[in-house]
Amino acid sequence: MTGDETGRAREAFIEEALEMLSGIESDLLDLEKDPSDSEAVSSILRALHTIKGSGAMVGFDEVAAFAHQIETVYDFIRKGKLVSTKSLIDLTLESCDLVQSMIRRTRPEDIRFDDQAGTLLSRLSELCPELNDIKGPGKGLLRREEIPKVPPQGTRITYRIRFRPQPDIFLKGTDPVLLLDELRGLGECLVLVHNDQIPDLRSLDPEKCCIYWDIILTTDRGIDAIKDVFIFIEDECELRIDIIDEGETALDEKDYKKIGEILLEKKDVEPEDLERILRERKPIGEVLVSEGLVPRTRVEAALTEQVHVRRMREQRLKSEVISSLRVSSDKLDRLVNLAGELVTVQARLSQTSFSRSDPELLSIAEEVERLTGELRESAMSMRMVPIGTTFARFRRLVRDLSAELGKEAELITYGGETELDKSVIEKLQDPLVHLIRNSLDHGLESPQIRESSGKPRKGTISLAAMHSGDKVRIEIRDDGAGLDGEGIRIKALEKGLITAADGLSDRDLYPLILLPGFSTSGNVTNISGRGVGLDVVKRAVDSLRGSIEINSEKGAYTDIALSLPLTLAIIDGLLVKISDDFFVLPLSSVEECVELRRKDAGKNNGRHIANVRGQIVPYVSIRDQFTTGGSRPDIEQIVIIVHENRKVGFVVDTVLGEYQTVIKTLGRAFRNVIGISGATILGDGTVALIIDIPGIIRIAEEKAGA
């Protein structure tokens, strides 16, 4: 391979290996809950085997060798020679962390076995005495040429399996046909029986197995899945598994081996006999059978294998165009940006065609609008990823942190298949970490306190995701002590955040815990107590144009729900105008629009409140917030939005209507302007500012408090 090809292969390996390590971590936690979970053990083995083989292919020899040792341990567990324990799980998790750090060094030549690796290997050898080749850093490790080359996970590989059971296999209660049926369930399978060793009827013993099989299997399940089929009879049969097609076909490699090559490879014919037959220039299979050198069944098996592999290669060549690809996130971001630019140009085209009243141009504009909408949806769907992968990472956090705090806790997740924009998920990880840490430290009680109050010793933290309209709702709930409303009230009074006359309910007090520096914890630990974590959550959710809702019952539970947009790149907005300036409000937050007459505004003694069908709604004047020039019209518009389960009005001059908004980030000089989250370009080239709803409300509340 060239230098560029090697670099790309290593990047692909790093990305794949990090995903597999995350999966191993999840399987280890499953195995810790149920040590008899054979599926988890098999999954761990498959992942380690792939890391070992793929790592060796791209030069990560030290990674491959280290993964081989861990794989050996779990092979002992699969065979029943070793039992999974908490100590072993701890060591394996540490080993996965080490492998991850080794991989992140990127350059294979930078990876060396250090003291940590040696210590881990020694501790593993203590738990697994059968592992005689673990004696220190780098000792007893596989040489590179000894490490099997494992194709990438998911590749359809074709295997040749020679299965020859012992003659007395029936007496041990094993039915070979059931094993063959299990192989058929792994993929596309051809079973060829060899009956050349069946004696005549007078010598036949019906209790003995006199036949054997060749199986041609094309599967994406990997060689370990095949070995699992024979796991209970591996000592009672002759089993040979060979890869005959690795799932990668070049354009000039449609053909497959000749019949003679296949028979020679299977050791069904001697080299000198094959060479003699070839000199006769007759069909090789026919001559071999006629001379009694090879039974007809074996020649037929070789012919079947040849036809099958050729057909698989032809199918693969035809389907290569539609196979899935790994695409870097930068390329996806570029595609979404281009789709956004096209949306802007399309809006300009629609506006121009409407102003000219040209039917043909209007028809073209409508067609472009339809195609642009489909392109936008396709581009956005490519960036949508399931949130379950992010959820899985928090199981390790709960396990380690609960042990550190001396608590017993379990994380239960729901809705992992819910999809969110990649960029939203990336920005969501830190807030979720803070919320889970907060639930463990403040929410869940110690096992002794839980038992004394009639609760199970082990607390539960649930993490759920679900679609709610055009948003995603993520809930973090614990069955702990709940929030202390009175304690929050006392702390808020001390800090001057509220007054005794406010008379706030507990539900109104809960959002105060999100303020900077607010903490009801009396002790500062390395986990909490400084009042920083939930402030980080609040700022992150606001930056995502989301909202937070808090519910709790003292002694029972705490429930924190995050409501987030599906994407940050393109949104549906409500375009409004104030004097000569344009603004956009996220349409997902808008509930309705009502009129505000100047004479009605003067009836409230200067207070910014409106009576909307008997309900009092406070409102904010966007003109006043941004000191926009021009005179107020006699009739203004109040855009009623819903934020954190309460209604707030935004007063504007004119509501222009719905507008598909491509979000552009502001320059460095305006990045920290409160109340503006971005900008967009209208069809005529005019810039419209996107209003940051939480920011505007926060400014208005601060002014009202002052």
pLDDT above 60 (res 686):
yes
Secondary structure (3-state) at 523 = coil
Q: What would the pLDDT profile of 167-226 be if each residue is shown by its tens digit?
A: 888 888 888 888 888 888 888 888 888 888 888 888 888 888 989 999 999 888 878 788
Q: How far apart are CA 487 and CA 390, in angstroms?
A: 33
Sign for the pseudo-dihedral over CA of 642, 643, 649, 650: negative
The most confident of 262-276, 340-354, 451-465, by mean pLDDT? 451-465
Q: How far apart are CA 86 and CA 324, in angstroms?
A: 39
Element (H, E) at 552: strand 547-553
How many residues are there in the chain?
706
pLDDT above 80 (res 406):
yes
pLDDT at 115: 61
Average pLDDT over every residue of 385-395 = 83
Burial class from Cβ neighbours inside 10 Å (0-12, 13-18, 19+) for residue 95 reads: buried
Q: What would the pLDDT profile of 593-651 be if each residue is shown by its tens digit?
A: 998 887 776 666 667 888 888 888 899 988 888 888 788 888 899 999 987 778 899 99
pLDDT at 602: 65
Secondary structure (3-state) at 692 = coil
pLDDT at 138: 40
Average pLDDT over every residue of 322-329 = 62
* 624 token code pair: 């006043």
- Residue entry with tokens 């394996």: 92
Q: How far apart are CA 530 and CA 517, in angstroms?
A: 6
Would you give the end-to-end CA distance of the chain in angstroms?
Answer: 69
Higher pLDDT, 267 or 97: 97
Nearest by Cα to 182 from 233, 216, 242, 229: 229
Higher pLDDT, 480 or 672: 480
pLDDT at 352: 85
104-134: b (≥16 Cβ within 10 Å) or e: eeeebeebebeeebbebbebbbeebeebeeb
Nearest by Cα to 284 from 302, 266, 304: 302
pLDDT at 129: 67
* 355 token code pair: 């102003």
pLDDT above 50 (res 141):
no
Average pLDDT over every residue of 441-452 = 90
Q: With bands split at pLDDT 50, 70 and 90, how would you rate the model's confidence at 321?
A: very low
